[in-house]
Amino acid sequence: MMKKNRHFGSWLFLFLCGVAFLFGAAFNLLRIYRVPLRPYIPAWIAEFINTWGFFLILIVLGIAFLWLARDRYRRMMGLLRRRRILAERTAKETEIRNGVRVAAIGGGTGLSTILRGLKTVTYNASAIVTVTDDGGSSGRIIEGSDALPPGDIRNCLVALSAREGTLEQLFNYRMENPAELKGHCLGNILISGLAEMKGDMAAAVWETGRILNIRGKVIPVTMDKVTLCAEMEDGSQLKGETTLVGDHRAIRAVFLEPSDVAVNRDAIDAIMEAEIVLLGPGSLYTSILPNLLVPGIVDALKTTAAPVYYVANMMQQAGETEGYDLSDHIEAITAVSDTPFLRGVIVNTAEISDEMLEKYAQMGLEPVVNDMIAVKKYRLKVVGLPLVKEEKIVKHDAEVLAKFIARGRY
């Protein structure tokens, strides 16, 4: 406040000086033509004052002071603008720090997509991540060891990072050389290396989160090594997430091996402390259901005071949900519990472009039909939002979803 008053005082001084000099010039001009100077003023001063030179000096000084006052005014207003912006940012930062507590359950690209939106409205988002990925870089890292796959964990950490740019690109960079590392994601190697060094994946996730300065928490649903298995409609069984996705037969159910893995207590705490819990979006059988199959997660969802919403997928997924409508997704989710735990479902209301529909049709995939008549039997609150965001694929608009979450009207 003192600095503000000092700036205003200096501007006012310069402005008044400029005005005074200009008024002096005008008064001097009147004296030159009309008014004699008082007799006690020395003759040489009177002579000088009655010249055009003195008049011009007053004009120049007046203009100079007004110019300085104008410059000072601009600086003062700039300072006030910067202070206002800083105050707004501080207020926004405080609002986000005290934002809604969200537990988002899933994996893959679906979960990381919505986390990018959530970090703009709250720093209290907890991502509960599946650990059944056995393909790509993650699969090579966990092969022959008890390590947890870092891929989905890395995606969520990067999504919540406040340090976007080079560091984000570094964590997502896939190695080309040497041959032994080709295809490996640098972030996966770093997280796995930290897990070996610390002797604990939880510590590795925390340390990586600190490096990335994440806005929230990333919580593996279990710290035990687990394999995703599936029973197909023809009665056969498949083992491994990659195998399941590569097989296009209809899935009857998925299960974990071993089935009695220990739940991460932090995941339970995040669900119980949340103000809203989100399931998905993401792969139904390989991202959402594996989390629900970990003992203790469904019980927490039934016990928590927070409403549990399923964020519905917009497109069918190859190898998992070909031919599925919305009610089929909900049926698969509710089948893991003998009592209901879903409060509602968030569905898309926006149109998908013909070009994107054609692209998916070439893969034999269609939009997920929101068959509301069939959904009615589940007695869920239905929230419609324009969620379509078209890039290389159809994604959920994380900003729209985040704004809904921030409003707190569940």
In whole angstroms, what is the distance from residue 239 CA to residue 232 CA? 11
pTM of the model: 0.80
**Closest C-alpha to 128, from 227, 272, 242:** 272
**pLDDT tens digits for range 83-131:** 888 888 888 888 888 999 999 999 988 999 999 999 999 999 999 999 9
408: left (phi over 0), alpha (psi -120 to 50) or beta: left
Say yes or no to pLDDT of 34 above 50: no
β-partners of residue 277 are: 103, 308
pLDDT of residue 374: 96
Buried b (16+ CB within 10 A) or exposed e, 33-48: eeeeeeeeeeeeeeee
Least confident of 36-50, 157-171, 393-407: 36-50
Say yes or no to pLDDT of 33 above 50: no
Say yes or no to pLDDT of 45 above 70: no
Per the model's pLDDT, the better-predicted residue between 323 and 66 turns out to be 323
DSSP 8-class letter at 38: P
Mean per-residue pLDDT, 13-26 = 65
Mean per-residue pLDDT, 218-243 = 93
Mean per-residue pLDDT, 244-271 = 93
Residue 407: CB partners within 8 Å, gap ≥ 6? none
DSSP 8-class letter at 50: T
DSSP 8-class letter at 350: S
Query: In the chain, what percentage of residues exceed pLDDT 70?
Result: 85
Task: For residue 361, name the pLDDT band (cuts at 50, 70, 90).
Answer: very high
Per the model's pLDDT, the better-predicted residue between 112 and 44 turns out to be 112
What's the CATH fold of domain 101-144+214-407? Rossmann fold (3.40.50)
Cα-based torsion angle of the residue sequence 331, 335, 341, 342 in order, rounded to the nearest 10 degrees? -10
| In the block, residue with structure tokens 């005071």 | 305
pLDDT of residue 70: 77
Mean per-residue pLDDT, 368-394 = 95
Residue type, 334: T
Whole-angstrom CA distances from 404 to 33, 203, 392 are 76, 33, 25
Say yes or no to pLDDT of 139 above 50: yes
Answer whether 102's CB lies under 8 Å from 125's CB: yes
Least confident of 49-58, 210-219, 268-277, 391-400: 49-58
E strand or H helix at 276: strand 276-279
- C-alpha angle with apex 329: 364 to 333, nearest 5 degrees? 145
The full set of domain ranges for the chain reads 2-89, 101-144+214-407
Packing angle of the helix pair 151-159, 186-198 (nearest 10 deg): 100
